[in-house]
A = this chain, B = another copy of it.
Amino acid sequence: MIGQRFIQMLEDHPYFEIEGLYASERSNGKRLSEVLKVRDHVYKDETMDREIETMDISKIAANCRVAFSGIPSDLAGPTETQLADAGVAVFTNAGSHRMDPNVPILIPEVNPGHLESIKDQATYANGGFIVTNANCSSTGIAAPLAAMDNAFGLKQVFVSTYQALSGAGYPGVPSLDAVGNVVPYIGGEEEKMESELAKMLGTYSDGAFHFADFKVMANCARVPVVDGHLESLVLDFEAQPTLEELEACLTGFRGEPQTLGLPSAPEQPIIVRSESNRPQPVFDAMAGRPERARGMAVTIGRLRQSNGYYKAFAMSHNTLRGGAGGSVLNAELMKAKGLL
């Protein structure tokens, strides 16, 4: 699923050109048209005509400055390390290196300063490094949490997820577990949310990441939705903003991607809906403009107060903003800043 979204987001990209597609042996020699199955995108014929090759680190290094990785996590760890060793700039959606000491979990709107960390990666001298993006459920709320943390001081986050099936890849979740059902378990997901958000919203200085000190309590479940993670939030702040202040903080949020006008950056990264029953996967997963930024905005709705806490629902596209799109935006940021 992620690989398909990478191809979609890199088609006709103003900064990057697809030099080759590489996969483990399973897909070797297949034509792209045999494996591409993205529901809401019409590929051009020339895109479909490409062939998928077997991964060959030295060949990739010889031909590519940048590698986007959506490799299964068991392969991603060593493969990405080899690519960085070979001087390739790796932007990965896999989880293997996220908690490594000098590897950033980057969201350009949230923590562009974390790019400092890659200079402390051993391979940086020869041009190779690894930049990760967060897991999809953390990504979906990172920007809103960062915006509100800056303004009101975040102390505690109680989050429950309603996660889409595409997050489990293909074949992924068996249909007998999905149709008319909810599975209240996604292996490792709650632990990831509790650690990755703290790393992302922390700082990097003196060669080390310093984690943010708010607490995350996550309950993660899989629902029969194709694309788009919905998350319920109860938030505990130092301050007690009005709901209007909260909304203004979210709506007004902008980051470097907006300032720099990155191609895949949504004009408004956080959209607040006023309807009583939004956000919903079928209407809001693809939020974001212009066309290239569809699925890159986060939507927030149902802002409420209760017992001194704040409640809301957040929604984001798990394989675009929370997957391939996140990696592509990270690369766009570095390119625009002259770091690639």
Q: Which of B166, B181, B278 contacts A281 (CB 8 A)?
A: B181
Residues of B within 8 A of A121 (CB): none
Query: Taking the nearest CB of chain B, how far is it from the CB of A159, in angstroms?
Result: 9
The answer to whether A176 and B181 have CB atoms under 8 Å apart is no
In the complex, whether A282 has a CB less than 8 A from a CB of chain B is: yes
Q: Are A194 and B279 in contact (CB under 8 A)?
A: no
A16-50 vs B, CB cutoff 8 Å, 1 = contact: the mask equals: 00000000000000000000010110100000000
Q: Does A145 contact B (CB under 8 A)?
A: no
Q: How many angstroms from the CA of A278 to the CA of B1 in the assembled complex?
A: 19
Whether a CB of chain B sits under 8 angstroms from the CB of A286 is yes
Are B175 and A178 in contact, with the CB atoms below 8 A?
Answer: yes
Are A230 and B175 in touch, CB under 8 angstroms?
Answer: no
Copies of this chain held together in the complex: 4
Q: A173-B175, A313-B219 are in contact. Are A182 and B234 (CB under 8 A)?
A: no
CA distance A289 to B45 in the complex (A): 11
**Contact, CB under 8 Å: B162 / A179:** no
Question: What residue in chain B is nearest A225 (Cβ atoms)?
Answer: B180
B232 to A309, Cβ gap below 8 A? no
Given the complex, which residues of B lie within 8 Å of A78, measured CB to CB? none
CA distance A330 to B44 in the complex (A): 28
Given contacts A42-B286, A306-B194, contact A223 B277 (CB under 8 A): no
A170 to B170, CA, bound (A): 15
Which chain B residues lie closer than 8 Å to A215 at the CB level? Answer: 307
- Bound-state Cα–Cα, A177 to B224, Å: 12
Range of interface residues on A (Cβ < 8 Å): 35 or more
Contact call B311/A180, Cβ cutoff below 8 A: no
A280 to B158 CA separation, bound complex (whole angstroms) = 22
A170:B174 contact, CB within 8 angstroms: yes
Residues A202-259 near B (CB distance < 8 A)? 215-219, 221, 223-226, 230, 232-234
Extra 13 A-B pairs, beta carbons < 8 Å, given A174-B174, A184-B277, A219-B234: A40-B40, A40-B286, A42-B294, A162-B162, A171-B171, A172-B176, A179-B226, A182-B223, A184-B280, A218-B306, A219-B311, A219-B313, A221-B232
Cross-chain pairs A/B with CB under 8 angstroms, 18 sampled = A42-B289, A162-B162, A171-B176, A172-B174, A178-B179, A182-B280, A182-B281, A184-B278, A184-B302, A185-B276, A194-B306, A215-B307, A217-B306, A219-B233, A219-B234, A219-B313, A221-B230, A223-B223
